A and B are shown apart, each in its own frame.
Chain A
Amino acid sequence: MIWDELTAEFFVGHYNYWMTIVLMMIGLYVVVSRGNLVKKIVGLNLFQTSVFMLYISMAKIFGGTAPILTDNPDEVYSNPLPHVLILTAIVVGVATTALGLALIIRIRESFDTIEEDEIFDIEQQMAKNATSTGGER
């Protein structure tokens, strides 16, 4: 049953969805694998962008034009709602990116690095110092 669907037409016809999945996976992988805080934000952006593509794909109707009112009653439109939703999601994404980058600036100011492993070492050292001073008291 499921194998019958896997024709060449199926693959080509769902081109946008494949690209969505590929982008999504690349984005998540970058977030997980990179130690550089800015690169993590880049990965996060890729991940979010893939979702924008998913929404815009589902709004597309074959032969449909931009959803602008014309006098022709037979006009076929793409669904405007997902576009509007994704405008909101883009704004959220921009805000997240801005906040993330602002945090990175503050981290760089106080840790003097934006590499995750170096920050981790510094934090471990801080925890160790706290324990040793706590013991002396």
Chain B
Amino acid sequence: MLSSLTPHLPALQVVIPLIAAPLCALFMNRHLAWTIAFVASVAAFLVSALLLASVLDGSVISYQLGGWAPPWGIEYRIDAANAFVLFIVSLIGALVLPYARQSIEREFDTSTHTYFYTCYLLCLTGLLGVAATGDAFNVFVFLEISSLSTYALVAFGAKRDRRALTAAYNYLIMGTIGATFFVIGLGFLYMVTGTLNMVDLAVRLAEVGDTRVTRVAFVFILVGMGLKLAMFPLHLWLPNAYNYAPPAVTAFLAATATKVALYVLLRFMFTIFQFDHPIQGLTFEYVVMPLAIVAMFAASIAAVFQEDVKRLLAYSSIAQVGYMLLGVALLTEAGLTAGIIHLFNHAVTKGALFLAVGCFVYQVGSSRLGDLKGIGKTMPWTTAALTAGGLSLIGVPLTVGFISKWYLIQASLETGSLLIAGLIVASSLIAVVYVWRIVEVAYLAPAPEGREAKEAPLSMILPTYALVAASLYFGINSELTSSAASQAANALFSVTDLAAPPMHLTPIDLPSEGASQ
């Protein structure tokens, strides 16, 4: 039975959480809803692991929905790049759920729990769909599925702080503008090519060459996705949204949503536009790279002055997006690999950090630095996890942060820029300052009297430590991540080579063929 499902893995990846979401809302029982959500997210994780394993050798899976051949039909196209992203998203999705159960039990009224799981699964569906699909307009639809549920998830934080509502509202306005810009860009691309299939788009855009329309499309897509992934001057929605969202949501979003948006940007910039149009290379060199460097410094410095750990980490996220974009903007395969490695590593690290902060919120009811004085004595495990994650943010050896910075510096040296390498090191030093602020408060400040903060429950500690362990494991043994990332970078660069004549895509995995195998 399992083998008959194998050819359908790309569709199952998206369909499993999509079907599970209404089931959660239907049964209106929070325990059942949690079980459904957990089973669905674990299933999605297994599917993505199988997909990643089958494309790591450089092969490409093309799944045709309804058996309609691309470029007319909608195609799910899995190569190393999006299999890697699918793996990260579903991994975090599966890890956050056991954590969320305890966390939201204390956060919201019990009657809203089923809606929470529904939104969570819809968000997961959207994020997985964005990564899996090979159809450009499908990207927009899935992006909006995930975004709309994200706004609702952020607004769930209103029980603890009503500012979550305005944060969600502002996120909605900015996110919708971003998505609409993206659709405008797509419209221009469709105008000049008449296709929406990504591979087909890439081939036909190469024929069209550099025209005013493709330039406008490029800029609209860059800005639209820039809004979604919190590229530096477009990041204003992020600190409030991350700060006021429920802790489990923050961890999930910080580790996945911006990463998926970055993947879309990479897919469009490298696979579809391919940089044979001079203006696009120049945009990355003279606009994206300087902004990324400014983000590394400005957001890090802003993080130093925050009084709330969640907000501090949110600003740090903006800086980390800067690192990823910097790697990408080097426009070499080494730089792209570094960017993708950092995408994975930062997802693991930030996930662990926000989960640890969520444990504090669960026990102390606040994540403000002033309320966390001396917490290291009463909640040693959580604080240790936070410290380990902080070390990884700085880039201390034996953590994943070191691996990504190592690759970034190597990539920038390879392009002959000693200055950029120096800037990466310098901005990491600012990270030392803000991480030290947390460590100092947690370990060295005297604990206030009368605070009853025991260690967080095991179901919250375990997911946190799973991510901490991952960030240490991949920091010591970077074999898997680096090979997957370089394979992914390779896939982003070379999609059109694989499908040189657009009509001859990879073998058709029709359902009937799959069943007989």
Real complex partners, A and B? Answer: yes
Are B162 and A134 neighbours in the complex by a CB distance under 8 Å?
A: no
In the complex, chain A residues whose CB is within 8 Å of the CB of B187: 51, 54-55, 58, 82
B150-208: which have CB < 8 Å to A?
151-152, 155, 158, 162-163, 165-166, 168-169, 172-173, 176-177, 179-180, 183-184, 187, 190-191, 196
Residue of A nearest to B370 (CB): A134
Question: How many residues on A have C-beta within 8 angstroms of the other chain's C-beta atoms?
Answer: 35
Are A137 and B166 neighbours in the complex by a CB distance under 8 Å?
A: no
Are B165 and A110 neighbours in the complex by a CB distance under 8 Å?
A: yes
Residue of B nearest to A31 (CB): B173
Write the A16-33 contact mask toward B (1 if CB under 8 angstroms, else 0): 000000000000100100
Q: A44-B173, A89-B183, A99-B152 are in contact. Are A123 and B166 (CB under 8 A)?
A: yes
Are A85 and B137 neighbours in the complex by a CB distance under 8 Å?
A: yes
Q: Is B368 an interface residue (CB 8 A)?
A: yes
A-B contact count (CB 8 A): 82
In the complex, chain B residues whose CB is within 8 Å of the CB of A40: 173
Picked from B155, B176, B191, B371, the residue with its CB within 8 Å of the CB of A96 is B176
Q: Is A63 an interface residue (CB 8 A)?
A: no
Q: Is B141 an interface residue (CB 8 A)?
A: yes
Q: Is B107 an interface residue (CB 8 A)?
A: no
Q: A54-B184, A58-B191 are in contact. Are A48 and B137 (CB under 8 A)?
A: no
In the complex, chain B residues whose CB is within 8 Å of the CB of A106: 155, 158, 165
In the complex, chain B residues whose CB is within 8 Å of the CB of A123: 163, 166
Picked from A58, A110, A111, A137, the residue with its CB within 8 Å of the CB of B448 is A137
CA distance A103 to B371 in the complex (A): 30
Q: Is the interface of B mostly helix, strand, loop or mixed?
A: helix
Q: Return B186 CB to nearest CB of chain A, in Å.
A: 9
Question: How many residues on B have C-beta within 8 angstroms of the other chain's C-beta atoms?
Answer: 32
In the complex, chain A residues whose CB is within 8 Å of the CB of B180: 47-48, 51
Q: Is B307 an interface residue (CB 8 A)?
A: yes
Q: Is A107 an interface residue (CB 8 A)?
A: yes
In the complex, chain B residues whose CB is within 8 Å of the CB of A107: 165-166, 169
Picked from B140, B168, B307, the residue with its CB within 8 Å of the CB of A131 is B307
Q: Return A107 CB to nearest CB of chain B, in Å.
A: 5
Write the B42-68 contact mask toward A (1 if CB under 8 angstroms, else 0): 000000000000000000000000000
Q: Is A135 an interface residue (CB 8 A)?
A: yes
For A28, A88, A104, A131, the residue with the greatest tally of chain B CB atoms inside 10 Å of its CB is A88
CA distance A101 to B17 in the complex (A): 27
Are A51 and B173 neighbours in the complex by a CB distance under 8 Å?
A: no
Q: Return A117 CB to nearest CB of chain B, in Å.
A: 12
Picked from A99, A119, A137, the residue with its CB within 8 Å of the CB of B371 is A137
Are B169 and A137 neighbours in the complex by a CB distance under 8 Å?
A: no
Residue of B nearest to A119 (CB): B166
Q: Is B148 an interface residue (CB 8 A)?
A: yes
Picked from A51, A82, A95, A135, the residue with its CB within 8 Å of the CB of B148 is A95
Residue of B nearest to A126 (CB): B163
In the complex, chain A residues whose CB is within 8 Å of the CB of B190: 58, 82
Q: Return B113 CB to nearest CB of chain A, in Å.
A: 18
Q: Return A8 CB to nearest CB of chain B, in Å.
A: 21
Picked from B144, B151, B196, B368, the residue with its CB within 8 Å of the CB of A103 is B151
Q: Is A6 an interface residue (CB 8 A)?
A: no
Are B177 and A134 neighbours in the complex by a CB distance under 8 Å?
A: no
Q: Return A53 CB to nearest CB of chain B, in Å.
A: 10
Residue of A nearest to B138 (CB): A88
Are B183 and A31 neighbours in the complex by a CB distance under 8 Å?
A: no
Are B370 and A111 neighbours in the complex by a CB distance under 8 Å?
A: no
Q: Return B372 CB to nearest CB of chain A, in Å.
A: 10
In the complex, chain A residues whose CB is within 8 Å of the CB of B173: 31, 40, 44, 100
Are B368 and A100 neighbours in the complex by a CB distance under 8 Å?
A: no
A84-100: which have CB < 8 Å to B?
85, 88-89, 92, 95-96, 99-100
Q: Is A69 an interface residue (CB 8 A)?
A: no
In the complex, chain B residues whose CB is within 8 Å of the CB of A134: 307, 368, 370-371
9 contacts between A and B (CB under 8 A): A51-B180, A55-B187, A81-B196, A85-B137, A92-B144, A92-B179, A95-B144, A111-B166, A137-B448
Q: 9 tightest A-B contacts by CB?
A: A134-B370, A110-B162, A92-B144, A103-B169, A107-B165, A58-B191, A106-B165, A96-B176, A54-B187
- Give me the interface of B with A, judged by CB distance under 8 Å: 137, 140-141, 144, 148, 151-152, 155, 158, 162-163, 165-166, 168-169, 172-173, 176-177, 179-180, 183-184, 187, 190-191, 196, 307, 368, 370-371, 448
- Give me the interface of A with B, judged by CB distance under 8 Å: 28, 31, 37, 40, 44, 47-48, 51, 54-55, 58, 81-82, 85, 88-89, 92, 95-96, 99-100, 103-104, 106-107, 110-111, 119, 123, 126, 130-131, 134-135, 137
Given contacts A48-B176, A96-B176, A103-B169, 17 further A-B contacts (CB under 8 A): A31-B173, A40-B173, A44-B177, A51-B180, A54-B184, A54-B187, A55-B187, A88-B137, A92-B144, A92-B148, A95-B144, A99-B172, A100-B169, A104-B169, A106-B155, A110-B158, A131-B307
